[in-house]
């Protein structure tokens, strides 16, 4: 395993073999720990490449704080919705704001949901529903972040105090919260030695089981700690509990002697191990954000002023304050470090709507965690978006099932080799004799062909990225991209092709 990890730094075929292989957490942590920092960063970026990992870079936005007005909370959520970012819901703050206006927590959640359609990622959720904390916690100014690492416990002696009586009062709305969620967060820091900062693992198991019962995503939050044993515990527990995405707490929760080396390597380890191919961070200082992005980080959780994610992310010791507005700073940091190609950096509403269309075309039954060959179709994002109103709102001209039922002929050309083409090919398998794959990216085309050959019976052939030639040799052609601008450009070049987006002219089924 160590040799394969080392080879995967410079060889994408080795990285593909590593992704397919069975691996233990200890082996991956050991192997990546032995790499140089630059090697670990390159490895992490390799595993951010489709289809080894999710290649989007995004922000999750904390919109709430216990002492916000209701108007400010709703305005924050609307603004987040306009840019197409997921809303990171600190459940205790929603409940606190609701209480201040004589409402129940679920009522304010419904009100937010009525004016937004992006995924709701719910954190600080426990055995009774939204956790509730005393004022010394909800109003914490973040001395540990301002002062700088490392800390074993809160410098003010704070522990994870809970107002259980207030939580129990609203137990009857617990499952209704889950119905509105796209994903639920489970905090594993208590298992890593940070008992004062997190709920018990027993309580987190309850939350994970509830998420699975309702088909929601699971985000596992763990800290970097000392950069070895702590990570092994976090990764193993996350996998044991069925987490889809990993969130690495940094800042004061990064207690390694070499903070940046350990953070970069933690991201690379997570990229290899995470089932849903999505790795995020919460609470990272600016230098950690930057090196993490270079190592393959997908997402950074930040926020509006007063929100505790807002004063953490993207700032540094001496500047990390609760009143900071973290989102603009994180956007600039992401754009400094990540160069966009066919997607916005960070991802915006364009990407959100494209994923929603792709899910609708592919069909829920074909998606993550279900596989074609060695790989799932889609990633943790697809679960979250499928549990959001934006998915219901999107329209497509045909689903993969429609195409398999209505298309005739001996061969079909699929223009685009991403996950949507995988699902369409799966549905066409056995219906047509030959499926031609064409993608502008040679790596995407090759890996798609290899994967489909492994999982399907129809002949799968490539077109070396030549869409026109692929179309000429097939009885029917389908433009599989669900990005309206890309699909529109392709439709102009091949007007006889079937398009999946209603606004794009194309041949009807």
Point out which residues pair with 245 in neighbouring strands.
219, 278
CA distances, 29 to each of 35, 147, 179, 270, 309 (Å): 10, 30, 36, 9, 28
DSSP track, 432-492: BSEEEEE-SSHHHHHHHHHHHHHH-SSEEEE-TT-HHHHHHTSSEEEE----HHHHHHHHH
Cβ(504)–Cβ(484) below 8 Å: yes
For residue 50, what are the CA distances in angstroms to 15, 312, 369?
Answer: 12, 30, 16
Q: Burial level of 154, CB count in 10 A (0-12/13-18/19+)?
A: middle
First to last CA, the chain: 48
Band the pLDDT of 508: cuts 50, 70, 90.
Answer: confident
Burial of 36 (0-12, 13-18, 19+ CB in 10 A): exposed
**Domains, the chain, ordered by start:** 23-337 (3.20.20.70), 348-509 (3.40.50)
Output the pLDDT for position 309: 84
pLDDT given for residue 330 in this prediction: 97
**DSSP β-ladder status, 299-303 and 411-415:** unpaired
Confidence of residue 82 (pLDDT cuts 50, 70, 90): very high
Instruction: Please check the confidence at residue 73 and state whether its pLDDT lies above 80.
Output: yes
CA distance linking residue 124 with residue 133, whole number of Å: 10
- Average the pLDDT over 320-341 and give the result: 93
For the segment 11-24, what is each residue's pLDDT rounded down to a tens digit? 999 999 999 999 99
The proportion of the chain whose per-residue pLDDT surpasses 90, expressed as a percent, equals 89
pLDDT tens per residue, range 190-242: 999 888 788 999 999 999 999 999 999 999 999 999 999 999 999 999 999 99
The pLDDT score that the predictor gives to residue 122 is 98
Give the mean pLDDT of 404-419: 93
- State the pTM of this model: 0.97
Residue-level pLDDT at 405 = 93
Mean pLDDT check: name the lowest of 64-73, 193-202, 450-459. Answer: 193-202
Query: Does residue 153 carry a pLDDT above 80?
Result: no
Separation of CA 399 from chain center: 24
| Cα–Cα distance measured from residue 420 to residue 480, given in angstroms and rounded to the nearest whole number | 6
Q: Which residue has the tokens 């030549």?
A: 466
**What are 89's strand-pairing partners?**
122
Residue 155, token pair as written in the block: 């410098």
């Amino acid at each position: 395993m160590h040799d394969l990890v080392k080879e995967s730094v410079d060889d994408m075929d080795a990285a593909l073999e590593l992704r397919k292989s069975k691996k233990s957490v200890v082996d991956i942590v050991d192997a990546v720990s032995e790499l140089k920092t630059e090697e670990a960063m390159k490895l992490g970026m390799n595993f951010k490449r489709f289809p080894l990992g999710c290649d989007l870079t995004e922000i999750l936005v904390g919109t709430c704080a216990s002492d916000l007005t209701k108007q400010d909370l709703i305005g924050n959520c609307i603004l987040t919705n306009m840019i197409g970012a997921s809303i990171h819901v600190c459940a205790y703050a929603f409940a606190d704001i609701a209480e201040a206006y004589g409402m129940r927590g679920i009522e304010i959640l419904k009100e937010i949901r009525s004016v937004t359609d992006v995924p709701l990622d719910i954190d600080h959720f426990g055995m009774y529903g939204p956790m509730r904390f005393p004022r010394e916690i909800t109003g914490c100014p973040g001395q540990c972040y301002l002062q700088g690492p490392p800390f074993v416990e809160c410098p003010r002696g704070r522990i994870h105090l809970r107002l259980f009586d207030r939580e129990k009062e609203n137990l009857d709305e617990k499952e209704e919260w889950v119905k509105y969620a796209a994903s639920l967060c489970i905090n594993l820091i208590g298992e890593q030695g940070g008992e004062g900062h997190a709920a018990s693992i027993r309580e987190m198991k309850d939350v994970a089981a509830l998420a699975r019962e309702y088909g929601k995503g699971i985000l596992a939050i763990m800290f970097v700690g000392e950069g070895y044993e702590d990570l092994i515990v976090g990764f193993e527990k996350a996998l044991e509990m069925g987490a889809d995405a990993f969130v690495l707490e940094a800042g004061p929760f990064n207690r390694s002697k070499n903070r940046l080396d350990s953070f970069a390597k933690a991201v690379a380890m997570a990229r290899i191990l995470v089932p849903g191919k999505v790795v995020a961070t919460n609470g990272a200082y600016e230098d950690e954000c930057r090196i993490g992005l270079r190592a393959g980080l997908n997402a950074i959780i930040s926020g509006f002023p007063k929100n505790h994610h807002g004063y953490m992310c993207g700032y540094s010791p001496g500047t990390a304050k609760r009143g900071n507005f973290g989102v603009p700073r994180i956007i600039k940091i992401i754009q400094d470090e990540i160069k966009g190609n066919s997607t916005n950096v960070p991802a915006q509403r364009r990407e959100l709507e494209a994923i929603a269309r792709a899910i609708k075309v592919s069909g829920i039954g074909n998606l993550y965690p279900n596989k074609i060959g060695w790989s799932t179709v889609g990633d943790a994002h697809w679960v979250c978006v499928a549990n959001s109103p934006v998915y219901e709102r999107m329209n497509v001209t045909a689903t993969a099932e429609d195409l398999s039922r209505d298309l005739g002929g001996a061969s079909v050309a699929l223009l685009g080799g991403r996950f949507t083409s995988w699902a369409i090919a799966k549905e066409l398998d056995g219906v047509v004799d030959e499926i031609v794959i064409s993608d502008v990216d040679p790596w995407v085309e090759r890996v798609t062909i290899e994967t489909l050959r492994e999982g399907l019976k129809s002949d799968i052939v490539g077109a070396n990225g030549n869409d026109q030639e692929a179309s000429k040799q097939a009885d029917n052609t389908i433009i599989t991209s669900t990005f309206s601008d890309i699909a529109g450009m392709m439709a102009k070049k091949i007007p006889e092709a079937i398009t999946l987006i209603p606004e794009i002219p194309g041949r009807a089924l």
